Structure 1
Amino acid sequence: MNKLVLMTKSKIEDSVTTRSGESKFGEQITILPSVTNIYGDLVHLDVKYVLVGLPEDVGVFANYGKPGACNAWDATIKILLNTQNSTFNNPKQLCVLGHLDFTQEQEQLSKWNQNNIKHVKKARALVAEIDKEVSNLIYNIVKAGKIPIIIGGGHNNAYGNIKGTSLALNKKINVINFDAHTDFRALEGRHSGNGFSYAFAEGFLNRYFIFGIHKNYTSQTILEDTLNANKSIRYNTFEAIEVENSLKFKDEMKEALRYVSKDTFGIEIDCDAIANVPSSAQTPSGFSVNKARQFVHYFGSNPAAQYLHICEAAPTKKTETQVGKLITYLITDFIRANSN
């Protein structure tokens, strides 16, 4: 846990804008003042949710995507800490643990070129090291009986979420993935496009449902060799739901929930699936923000939901407030749904 940077009281005080007659999230959330043993420190903590940030985009680089996912954590925490504390929200259920420090990895990345295959291979090797940090942290949070909420980074981190949860529970888990892509690419070295295929191949992932893949970005190879050939994978398409209207959004959520909720499952939200959100593969055609919120609420309300991961958002200075608000809405939607 040498990469874990704890949230501090001074950081919160610097971030929270106080106002007479109001109480903010940052004034009520729980933090850990120090860490001796992450599992031991969390197990007796009177919270249900543990929020962590993964400020990196090494996996995105390694998958030839657009960088920027490293900025989502900072954009989110600024907004979340200033969210209103009221009967609608209960920040006392939440521990804002902090983030994993991938500064060195990001510095290495800045020296590499995506057009250089040697650099891409180095990045993929680096993702495998990041996997170890993520899976270890998630393992300890889940083992302590808490529900992790993971923010930022590329979708490569789905692997660490799945592995850490699976090892903590000593069983395979299921996953629902709200995504324009399958992220079930070949086992060619770790990157943001094969977190689920690696988790499946290594025995951590059982049932996998991909919600809303785009027909234009799903290869024939993936269709034939993976999606239609594997009984453990189910999917629907964005076009069938939103363009052709051959499927209904709410009906498809029910179908997907029936499939994954037979056992513990994780919720993966890729911001590439939401229209016009700055991300590694930003799309002009995707689900609305409100549909994404409905999705998180619906799946989060099921008691078998074990974690929430929101990834691939790539805010700039101009868009960081909007991205931070989006992710904060999804976090609070999940907590409200899951705690009821």
Structure 2
Amino acid sequence: MKKDFAFIDAQRQSAHLIRRNGEVKVGEKITFASGSIEESLQSFKGQYVLLGIEEDIGPRANGGFGGAMSAFKAFLSRFLNMQANQFMNTDNLMILGRAKFECVETEFESLRQAVGEMDEFLTEIIAKIYTYNKVPVVVGGGHNNAYPLMKAYFQTVGRTLDVVNLDPHADFRSMEGRHSGNSFSYAKHEGYLNSYTVHGLHKQYNSQEMLLRMEKEGVIFSCFEHYLDGERVLWSDAGEYAAIHKEGYGVELDLDSIENMPSSAMTPVGWSLFDTRRWLRQLAKENPVYFNFTEGAPDLDSNGNYKVGKALAYFVSDLIEK
């Protein structure tokens, strides 16, 4: 497996940024890390540090589709060209850089071994973000990258973490080797995850075996059909969760949950972007300790760069809105 980390240098910025007379774009105002990770984190005075991840190994190791490799690039093209106006606090976000992973293997055993290597590589980077009391914002890649976010938090802060996930799938599958479907079962088993809550599971796409294991481990979940039938309200559940978990929580937003969004497990029945943003904004108000925007797969749709990139740009802009 090939792996590396790179800052978003001036050449990369220019490749995504479209300048216009009379306008100031986010890409012209936002802070980009350079030199060294530690020096950049130490000097940055804002709250959020964004790490892009370019990989689709985790979803492929889970028997799913690739395509998540290009989500971060799609995001950059849309986010950097948003307007830096009175509604945006661009001083509150630094783009650290991107971690890229490539694996040409197709066998599950090799892919899962590669995910384990990614876990170690990302845990080291993310731990540095926590060390400087910043909130990591991860954009791109598979849901396998939830695991290093939880592990790095435990290693740095010294306590287990509560996590809430908007996702049609619980990703609490058996520990059969690391992939995008078992970040939370591994984190629970290894003592990094305290409580795990999933909003909007699809009844038809979570196995009975996994549901029984979730019950045994105390996983809390609601089903999409609960909202469909009017039994629950999504953003109310988000607000209630944030109010209860005052010591901090991780926020997982799987793009699989959004209707017709190009993703590793695209669904024709899901949340609108209106619903999703309202859920996210409720959780962003209180005490989030990380955000993970995952599973977007622009390569799986002819208009995927626009759909995925713009959705991710909106999510990140919601965090730095004044």
TM-score, scaled to structure 1:
0.90
3-state DSSP of counterpart to 2:308: helix
Contact 2:124/2:152 (<8 A) preserved = yes
Q: Residue 305 in 1 paired to residue 292 in 2?
A: no
CA distance in 2, matches of 1:81, 1:331: 11
After superposition, the C-alpha distances for 1:268-308 in whole angstroms (9 at most, x for unaligned) are 00000110000000000011111110111110111x20111
Q: Please, which runs of 5 or more residues in structure 2 have no aligned partner?
A: none
Counterpart selection for 2:225 from 220, 233, 239: 239
Task: Tell me, in whole angstroms, the C-alpha distance in 1 between the residues paired with 2:279 and 2:211.
Answer: 24
Q: Which residue is equivalent to 1:98?
A: 97
In structure 1, the partner of 2:191 is 203
Find the partner of 2:202 among 194, 214, 228: 214
Separation (CA, whole Å) in 2 of partners of 1:135 and 1:44: 21
Q: CA deviation at 1:84?
A: 0.4
The equivalent residue for 2:165 is 177
1:246 is displaced (CA, Å) by 1.8
Superposed, which structure 2 residues align to 1:273-284 within 5 Å? 273-284=257-268
**Deviations 1:109-142 (Å, cap 9, x if unpaired)?**
4xx2xxxxxx111100110000011111111011
2:78 paired residue number = 79
Give the aligned residue type for 2:291: L
What residue in structure 2 maps to residue 66 of structure 1? 65
Correspondence for 1:250: 235
Q: Is the 8 A contact 1:174 1:265 kept in 2?
A: yes
Partner of 1:34: 35
- Does residue 139 (structure 1) correspond to residue 127 (structure 2)? The answer is yes
Structure 1's unaligned 5+ residue stretches are 113-118
Letter in 2 for 1:272: D
- Residues 21-64 of structure 1, C-alpha deviation per residue, up to 9 Å, x if partnerless? 110011001112311xx234312322221111111011100101
Equivalences, count: 318
Letter in 2 for 1:13: S
Residue identity in the other structure for 1:21: G
RMSD, matched Cα: 1.5
- In 1, distance between residues paired with 2:91 and 2:72? 20
Instruction: Say whether the 8 Å CA contact 1:43–1:145 is kept in structure 2.
Output: no
Equivalent runs, 1:308-319 vs 2, <5 Å: 308-316=291-299, 318-319=303-304
Report percent identity of matched pairs: 35
1:258 positional shift: 4.1
| CA–CA distance in structure 1, aligned partners of residues 28 and 239 of structure 2 | 37
TM-score, structure 2 length as denominator?
Answer: 0.95
Report the equivalent of 1:116: none
> For the structure 1 residues 21 and 138, does the alpha-carbon distance in structure 2 shift closer, same or farther, using more than 3 Å as the test?
same
Matched, 1:50 2:34: no
